[in-house]
Structure 1
Amino acid sequence: MPIRLTRITSRPVFYQLCTLCIGMLSLYSLTITYHSSFSGGCLKEVDSVFGEMVSTSPKPFLSKNDTVTEDVFKWWKPIQGSRENFTYFKMTVEKTFQMIPPSLEVMKPSPGRCRTCAVVGNSGNLKGSHYGSLIDHHDFVIRINRGVTKGFEEDVGTKTTHRVLYPESAPRVENTTCVLFFPFKIHDYEWLRTAMSPENVKSPRRIYKDKVMILSPAFMKYVYDVWLYKKDGYGSTGFMTVVLSLVLCDEVSVFGFGIDNDGNWSHYFERFKYNGLGTGLHSGKVEYSIYQRLHEEKKIQFFKGL
């Protein structure tokens, strides 16, 4: 029997900057939403296989009361070579949430409009794409790592509601942008506390503590287990962001993933001197094939650029 979608929307207050991050988190905390086919309206029944993949997602974000089991920690710990034990990890996470304000009220479902999300990667195939206005038309625009807009507005747009980052990839973040923080090691939580501290108020890498959501290691493991079938290492930041959007949003559009015209995994805002650039520990080809399949099955709209 097919899984039926549940429509999740929020009141106009959702758009107020002070509740932007909480609104997106609340979309999940109330119930899981499933992505729809693009024909026949925003929400409709979806096939049971896709529905089951999405419904098995753990809570994507950590909170003061929802932390991580020791089994998940043991899977997550070797990703980037953390040496500390589970006790130290729990203490570090607890200290981090002493700085982050508690969540506001949970948004309630209503028969309003659906939520559209644009996930914008950094591929060089965005150059000359003229996707800017299309990207900005979405309710949420999620940019990844150092993806810039200035000077590239025609191709990538100007709107940024959410920024995915980890310490090594952190750009300057405006106080109107929600941070989706992806921690890959225990030190990342310590870095985040420093970035949110009052002493860091004048730093260009300041993070605003009332606009932070921390991705759970349990969600990272879920992406590896369910979407990558426990192969090819853990998912890339971009791939995990796409899966996260499938869990949180009603309609997902994906831009800026894959190789450029020269066959390189390059960035639209950088110039590379060498050809044959790859994707490091991540299997870019495997992840790209999944984007293509999701597009063919009308679970996402995948814009391949030029």
Structure 2
Amino acid sequence: MVALRHRNLKLFAVALAFFAITITSFLLNFTQNSEKYFRFSGPFVRFIASMRRPCGCETCVSEAELSPWFDERFNQTVLPFLTKQNNLLSESTYKWWLKLQSERNPMDINKAVEELFKVIPGETSLSERSPYQCRTCAVVGNSGNLKETDYGPDIDSHNFVFRMNHAPTAKFEKDVGNKTTHHFVYPESVRDLSENVSMILIPFKTLDLQWVVSALTTGTINFTYAPVPRKIKVTKDKILVYNPEFMKYVYDRWLMNHGRYPSTGFLSVIFALHICDKVDLYGFGADSKGNWHHYWENNPSAGAFRQTGVHDGDFEADIISNLTSIKKINIYRGR
């Protein structure tokens, strides 16, 4: 009886080993030929394939080991938002940030953040990615090359649509769309937003954080380095704050310290790389005649938004070109 048990155990061990080898062989073969399997398979095989990538798209922005140039710059651990749980700035970041707009007598940053998160939630799940989702994002710049493109429906088909600064959509829907999920602003470029749109504040000083509190409560602040509205029309629960630590990361790792600080457009692009699985850019760069202007301006030759004095537009354009060449983003260059 004992001998029979030993024999059965040996047979079971052999069968188990054979099963493990068979499954391992199948998975290795599937990994090498996933595209072929994808054509003829059902949900189970698609589930196995999705485990190979960080998202459910055919290609994922955050996928590593496809471009050494990208991998040297992209750091998924740097979080884009300032939140209640992610609100500490390194000393080097804080010193750099304070110099961006030469703020005098700034409020203590910890006090400013504490006051801010008494008024807005200070929480977001937007940074949470899933291997089972394919989050598509349209980053819509303000270039005049959007005119007469009919990009509107394509832009609106994305899961998320990011716009920035004054960017109107009314009367321009055919070319720029009318969907907005998140709008990037700083206090001096703020605009009223509908109740379903999230405002992403890009702060350049502690006064900007104080202004948010004021604009939602007392309305006492009406000037930073320029006039700002005392009150804003925006849903306070949908206000998010761009993390100064993330701004410094963009400046150091992506721009290599070119310019004084990144433009709103470039900050939006790198933000999208960290939030989205597929990124499409619209309204970036000059038009086909070399004019740099906004799509809502009637006189293209009068526009000069590229020459700001604080951003290195050429270097930013080179980075975007590189991201396009390695297929991390798609850019629609318009007319």
- TM-score, normalisation: structure 2: 0.73
Specify the alignment match of 2:148 in structure 1: 128
The amino acid across from 1:209 in the alignment is: K
Provide the secondary structure at the position in 2 that maps to 1:100: coil
1:155 partnered with 2:175: yes
Give 1:249-268 correspondences, 5 Å limit. Answer: 249-268=276-295
For residues 127 and 74 of structure 2, what CA distance do their matches in structure 1 show? Answer: 21
1:11-160 equivalences under 5 Å are 40-42=58-60, 46-55=66-75, 58-67=78-87, 68-85=89-106, 88-103=108-123, 111-160=131-180
Residue type of the partner of 2:95? K
- CA–CA separation in structure 2 for the residues paired with 1:141 and 1:106: 13
Q: CA deviation at 1:196?
A: 2.3
> In structure 1, what is the equivalent of residue 255 of structure 2?
228
**Does structure 1 conserve the Cα–Cα contact (< 8 Å) formed by 2:291 and 2:300?**
no
Q: Which digits, 9 at most, give the CA deviation of each residue in 1:133-183, with x for residues without a partner? A: 110111000011111111111100111011111111111111100111101
- Partner amino acid, structure 1, of 2:328: K
Q: 2:205 aligns with which of 152, 172, 185?
A: 185
Q: Return the alpha-carbon distance in structure 1 between the equivalents of residues 125 and 182 of structure 2.
A: 20
Counterpart secondary structure, 2:251: helix
- Partner SS, residue 74 of structure 2: helix
Structure 2 gap segments, 5+ residues each: 1-52, 221-229
Greater relative contact order (CA < 8 Å, ≥ 6 in sequence): 1
Q: Encode CA deviations 1:216-271: one digit per residue, 9 max, x unaligned.
A: 11111101100001122211000010001001110100111111344232100123
Number of aligned positions between the proteins:
269
Alignment identity in percent? 39
Say whether 1:300 aligns with 2:320.
no
Question: Residue 307 of structure 2 corresponds to which residue in structure 1?
Answer: 279
- Kept in 1, the 8 Å contact 2:55–2:130? The answer is no
Residues in 2 aligned to 1:109 and 1:259: alpha-carbon distance in whole angstroms: 33
Provide the C-alpha distance between the structure 1 equivalents of 2:159 and 2:190, rounded to a whole number of angstroms. Answer: 23
Change (3 A) 1:228 1:105: closer
Report the alpha carbon displacement of residue 102 of structure 1 after superposing the two structures with TM. 4.8
Distance across 2 between alignment mates of 1:51 and 1:176: 35
Q: CA RMSD in A?
A: 2.7
- Asked if structure 1 preserves the Cα contact closer than 8 Å seen for 2:201 and 2:239, the reply is yes
Look up the SS of the partner of 2:70 in the other structure.
helix
The worse-fitting range, judged by mean Cα deviation, of 168-177 and 65-74 is 65-74
Structure 1 position 106, deviation (Å): 8.6
User: Which of 255, 258, 274 is equivalent to 1:247?
Assistant: 274
State TM-score, norm by structure 1: 0.79
Cα 1:191–1:256 shift into 2, 3 Å: same
